[in-house]
Each structure stands twice: as C-alpha cells, then as structure tokens.
Chain A
Amino acid sequence: MAESSDKVLQVELVAADRLVWSGQATMVIARTTEGDVGILPNHAPLLSSIIEGVVDVQTAEGETWIAAVDAGFLSVADNRVSILAERAEMSHEIDLEKARQDLERAKASGENDDAAQEAVRRAEARIRAVERAS
C-alpha cells in the first residue's frame, strides 16, 4: 500500500454523523487556526485544528471538490488525510439561498456574541464554498 500511495493522498472528509467524501487527491487545502494550509503527498505528519471555512480537494483526475466545514481537525499521516468536523457539506449540497438567509440572520443577531460570530463564519464559509465551486 505504501508504494502505490506515494503520489496521492487518501482523503476522508468526515462529519459527525456521516462520511461526506472520500477518495484520492493530489492536494488538499484547508484553513487552520494559523492560516490556510496546503497538503501535498508525502507531507509530514500533522495534526491541526481547523476553523469554519472552505476545504479544497484536488483529485488525481484534475477535478476540484469544494466543501464547507465547521471547526474541527485535520490530521495527516502516511499520506492519509482526514478532515473531521461536526458538520460538513459538499458545495453541491448547500442551499445558497438558505445560507444567505442564515448569514443575514446571524449578522442581525449581534456582532459581539461569540455564538453569533461563529454562525456568521459558518454561513460565510458555505456561501464561499458555493461561489468557488460555480
């Protein structure tokens, strides 16, 4: 297995209640607490917290999959990338209208509140994911 997976990453994007996406990829981009990080094959083992944002997965066939995720984790070891988030959605599953409404609501509910800001970031991430995908 180690030989065949030298050039690709085995990616699993997992939400708390389901496996959202899994497959092989050449590059994964995610947003950690420290900033965006790009993972290429043979990346050093890494365990990092990620924040609400967009995850970009480029497959070996040149396709790009985009997903919106909540706060969670990214772990890389032996060319296996797992992205864990309590909620995660692929861009084509997101209802753009609903995301926009959520954003409006979250913005209206107050800027200072931590929970509200989290909701704003989450809604923005979902909108960004859809816009990037189209």
Chain B
Amino acid sequence: MALSVREYRARIRSTESMKKITRAMELIAASRIIKAQQRAQAAAPYARELTRAVSAVATFSNVDHALTLEPEDPKKAAVLIITSDRGLAGAYSSSVIKEAERLVEKLKGEGKDVDLYTSGRKGEAYFKFRQRAVVQAWTGFSDQPTYDVAAEIGATLIEAFLAETGDEGHAVDEVHVVYTRFRSMLSQEPTAVRLLPLEVVEGTEAPDKADLLPLYEFEPSPSEVLDSLLPRYVQSRIFFALLQAAASELAARQKAMKSATDNADELIKKYKRIANQARQAGITQEISEIVGGVNALADAQAGSE
C-alpha cells in the first residue's frame, strides 16, 4: 500500500505489455492449431491404408515376424517420451512426463530396465537436470513434425528392438511411447502405448461364411512384404503420435495463454483500483495538509493580535 501512484502506473504499463505478448501467443497458437489439425487429418489416409494392409497380411498369412514376436522374458524396455520444445504451454510437458514416470515405475516394478528416448527440448532438459541418462533425444520440431523425423525415430527404435541382447548398443525387448492424445480443443490426454512388439488387432470385416477369404498374393513373398511393411507401420504410428502431440501442445499453449491474458486483465483492473485509491489518498492528504496549514496560520495570527 505504501507504493506511490507513479510506481503503480509503471506496474500497470508492464502488465499491459505482458498482456499484449500473451495475447499474441494465444492468437498464434490458435492459428497454428488449425494447421496442425489439418496435417493430422492429411496423414490419416496413409495410416488407415497401412493398417488395412498390415491387418490383411496378419489375417491372411501365417508369417511370424521379428517385430511381432513377444520376447519370452522381457528384461529391458525403451520408452519414447514426446514433449514440447518450448514452454508456456501450461502443464502440457509436465503432465506427459508425469505419465512417463508412472510407466517407468510400472516397468521397473515388473523387473525391467528402462532406456529413455525423448523428443522435444523440455523432456531432454527434465532428465538432464535430474542427471538421468537419455539414450537419444530429438529436438527442434515439436510443433510441426515431418515424416522424416518420424522415420528417423522409428528406425532408431526398431534397430534397438531388433538388436540381440548382449550386443553393444541398446538392445530392448519392448518399446513404449508416451504422448499426448488430442481429444478436443479443451481436453488433451497423456497416453502411454506399447509400440513394439506389434499387436495388430484390427482385422478387416469378418467375412461371410459363404464368401471365400480374399487370398492375397504376395510379391515377392509374404515375409519380404511384411519385412518392409512393418517398419513403415511403426514409423507411421510414431508420426501419428508426433502429430497428435503437436496439436495437443498448441491447444495447451492456447489455453495457457488465454488464461494468462485473462489474469493480466484482472491484474490491471486491480492495480488501477489501487492506483486510484492511492491518488485519492494523496489528494485527501494534500487537502488536509493545506487546511491544517491554513488553520495553523489563522490560529497563529489570532494569537498574535
């Protein structure tokens, strides 16, 4: 309360400029989120067709593949955590990291060692600060991921999964991904899924008993087709997770910036009120000083006469 009017004015000004910044970030996030959603939609046909092809192979042929094989005694798991590059997105990164920690605890409880992989600077910084080893970190694309980075991440994880235990490098028996699922503009949900070994559950529609199963011909051979199909499927799943995470990040940022702008508004209103109070108090004090002074003068004059 003891501050002068001038100091309150300065605070109001700085809050106003902060409000301008958060407002701009809110608008930027809002316009980017539409693009992110469009990208997610544009990538959907590829994922759909790929899923269809994979389930066709899985349903109509009896080929086992290294990527679908359940290891008998899983000892080591890799966890890929998809976070954002930049902050100012509310609890976005911390809630996805919290979900990841839960998963890591669960895996450790099952007696598995955990290798960490992160995407986004926030995740990298989190583990670096706690001095926990991260096998590999990818950064710099969290709000607009391209398929190329998804392919690179996928290739790294598949390599780790296929490597024999005991080899050099980071052989793992399971691969999990933790990302934020974009449900709507208002709700985003941190989700953990197991990526490898693959579980292909979606079958094409159950065939009528009268119909013959469409027997696919495979060229060059079922195992070779599966060989090149499955890695792509994994990559497309990662790409999907990255796109969802990007949309979620922008939505979270928009929400966080909206409430920051609202708070700045509140703060400005409050400061204005206090500043006016201080101004009025000052005026009142000046008036009473003047009046007091005049009275004192008048008294002094009356006394001397």
Contacts and interface: CB of A to CB of B under 8 A. Distances in A.
Contacts of B271: none
B49 A14 contact: yes
B50 A17 contact: no
B53 interface: yes
Contacts of B43: 16-18
B220 A34 contact: yes
A72 B39 CA distance: 21
A131 interface: no
A12 B45 contact: yes
Contacts of A45: 56, 214-217
Interface stretch (A60-68, A76-84, A94-102): A76-84
Contact of B56 (A19, A32, A33, A75): A75
Contact of B218 (A37, A47, A84): A47
B98 interface: no
B217 A47 contact: yes
B42 A73 contact: no
Interface stretch (B131-139, B169-177, B225-233): B225-233
Nearest to A44: B217
A12 B228 CA distance: 20
A32 B232 CA distance: 17
Interface in B197-235: 214-220, 224-225, 228-229, 232
Contacts of A71: 228
B146 interface: yes
A75 B224 contact: no
Given A45-B214, A47-B57, A34 B219 contact: yes
Interface of A: 12, 14-19, 32-34, 37, 44-49, 71-73, 75, 77-78, 82, 84, 86
Interface of B: 39, 42-43, 45-46, 49-50, 52-53, 56-57, 146-147, 150-151, 214-220, 224-225, 228-229, 232, 236, 239
